[in-house]
Amino acid sequence: MTSEAGVNYLVVQENLERLKLTQMVSALDRIAEEASQGQWSYIEFLGKLLEEEMTARQERRMAIRQRMSRFPWVKTLDQFDFSFQPGLDERKIRELATLRFIEKAETILLIGPPGVGKTHLAIALGLEAVRAGYAVYFITLSELAEQIPREKTDPLWSEKMRALTYPRLLIIDEVGYVPLDSLASYFLFSLVCRRYEKGAMIWTSNKGFAEWSTIFAGDEVLTTAILDRLLHHSTVINIRGRSYRLREKIQAGSIVGYPTVSTNLTADAKEKTR
Ligand code: ADP
Ligand code: MG
C-alpha cells in the first residue's frame, strides 16, 4: 500500500467509525481483499460492505428485542419432542408458529398439568415472534400481580397497564398457581379488555376453565367476563400427557404410580379458532 493509499485508508476507517458503521469498519479489510481478488465493481463492493452492516444491525436489534421479552429461558420449537406428547397436534402448533394469530390479535390458551411443556411452547412461539420482529413480553401471573399498585388511582396503575398493552404478543405464564385478590383480578380484567381484538396473548394454566374463578378472587362474574373475551378469538390447546420433567425418573422406575395420562383436567373448552 502506498503512503497516500495508507492515509486514505485511515481516513475511510475514521469516517466509518464517526458514522458508527462499526461492522463496516471491521469488515473493510476482508471485503476489500475479496473485492480485489474477485474483481468486483465499485457498486458490488459498496453493496457487500453495506450488507455486513445491515446484517449486524439486524442481529443486534433482535438480541435487544429478545432481552426485552424477558423469557426466563430460551427453548425453540425444534427442541420440542412432539413424539413424547402424542396427544398434542403438532400441525396445530406449526400453524400457530406462522404467527397469523398475532396479526389477528388472537389468544392461545395452553392448559395442562405441570411439566407437559406449556412454558416451553409459549417461549418457543414467543421466540418465533421476536425473530419476525414483533415486540413480545413474557411474565408470570404472580410476577404481574406483585407489580400491580394497591390503588387504582396510583399513576403506576395506568403506567403498568400501558406497558402490558404495548407488546404485540403478551405471554402470561402460570395462571392458576397463585390466586389473585379482587384488585389484581380487576386489573387483569381491564388488561384483557384493553387487549381484546387488539393484541395477541398466550396464557398457560394448570387449571381447567371450570376452576378459573378460584384464580380471580372467587368472582364468577368477572371470571366469566375474562374468559368470554379470551375465548372469543382463541385456540385452546389441552395437553393431557405426561410430565417431561419426571420422565427420566419414571424411566428409572423411581416414581411408581404416576399416571401416564392425566385425567384431572376439567377444561371443557372446545378447541376453536375463528
Ligand atoms: P410446564 O410449563 O407445562 O410445567 P415446561 O414447559 O416448563 O412445563 O417443561 C418442563 C421442562 O421439560 C422444560 O425444560 C421443557 O423444555 C421440557 N419439556 C417439556 N415437554 C417437552 C417436550 N415434549 N420435548 C422436549 N422438552 C420438553
Ligand atoms: Mg410452566
Contact 180/212 with Cβ under 8 angstroms?
no
Residues 14 and 77 occupy one common structural domain: no
**Ligand 1 geometric centre to CA of 75 (Å):** 9
Q: Give tens-digit pLDDT for 128-150.
A: 999 999 999 999 999 999 999 99
Residues 55 and 75 occupy one common structural domain: no
Residues 134 and 255 occupy one common structural domain: yes
User: 255 pLDDT band (50/70/90 cuts)?
Assistant: low
Please check the confidence at residue 193 and state whether its pLDDT lies above 80.
Answer: yes
Please check the confidence at residue 168 and state whether its pLDDT lies above 80.
Answer: yes
Please provide the average confidence, as pLDDT, over all residues in the chain.
Answer: 91
Residue whose CA is at the smallest distance from ligand 1 atom 11: 245
CB under 6 Å to ligand 1: residues?
Answer: 75, 79-81, 84-85, 112, 114-120, 204, 244-245
Residues 15 and 139 occupy one common structural domain: no
Residues 20 and 117 occupy one common structural domain: no
Residues 134 and 191 occupy one common structural domain: yes
Residues 18 and 133 occupy one common structural domain: no
Q: What pLDDT sits at residue 12?
A: 92
- The CATH number of residue 256's host domain is 3.40.50.300
Question: Between 22-38 and 42-69, two packed helices, what is the crossing angle to 10 degrees?
Answer: 150
Q: Is 43 exposed, middle or buried (0-12, 13-18, 19+ CB in 10 A)?
A: exposed
What is the best residue among 123, 204, 244 to mutate for testing ligand 1's pocket, by most ligand atoms within 8 Å of CB? 244
| 121 vs 219: CA distance, rounded Å | 29
User: 254 pLDDT band (50/70/90 cuts)?
Assistant: low
Q: Give tens-digit pLDDT for 64-82.
A: 999 999 999 999 999 999 9
The residue segments making up the domain with residue 180 are 70-272
Residues 149 and 91 occupy one common structural domain: yes
Q: Which ligand is nearest to the CA of 83?
A: 1
What is the strand order of the sheet 169-175 is part of?
136-140, 169-175, 200-205, 107-111, 234-238
Interval 45-53 mean pLDDT: 97
Which residue has 486514505 as its cell numbers?
A: 8
**Ligand 1 geometric centre to CA of 145 (Å):** 24
Please tell me the least confidently modeled range out of 7-16, 71-80, 108-117.
7-16
Residues 82 and 32 occupy one common structural domain: no
Residues 102 and 18 occupy one common structural domain: no
Residues 43 and 76 occupy one common structural domain: no
Atom from ligand 1 closest to the CA of residue 123: 6
| 129 vs 168: CA distance, rounded Å | 9
Atom from ligand 1 closest to the CA of residue 85: 23
Q: Which ligand is nearest to the CA of 173?
A: 2
Residues 56 and 77 occupy one common structural domain: no
Residue whose CA is at the smallest distance from ligand 1 atom 10: 115
Please check the confidence at residue 261 and state whether its pLDDT lies above 50.
Answer: no
Please check the confidence at residue 274 and state whether its pLDDT lies above 70.
Answer: no
Residue whose CA is at the smallest distance from ligand 1 atom 7: 119
CA distances 59 to 37, 63, 167, Å, are 28, 6, 20
**Ligand 2 geometric centre to CA of 155 (Å):** 31
Please check the confidence at residue 4 and state whether its pLDDT lies above 60.
Answer: no
Question: How many degrees, rounded to 5, is the angle at CA 49 between CA 47 and CA 55?
Answer: 95
**Ligand 2 geometric centre to CA of 127 (Å):** 16
| 180 vs 182: CA distance, rounded Å | 7
Please check the confidence at residue 1 and state whether its pLDDT lies above 50.
Answer: no
**Ligand 1 geometric centre to CA of 80 (Å):** 8
Overall number of domains in the chain? 2
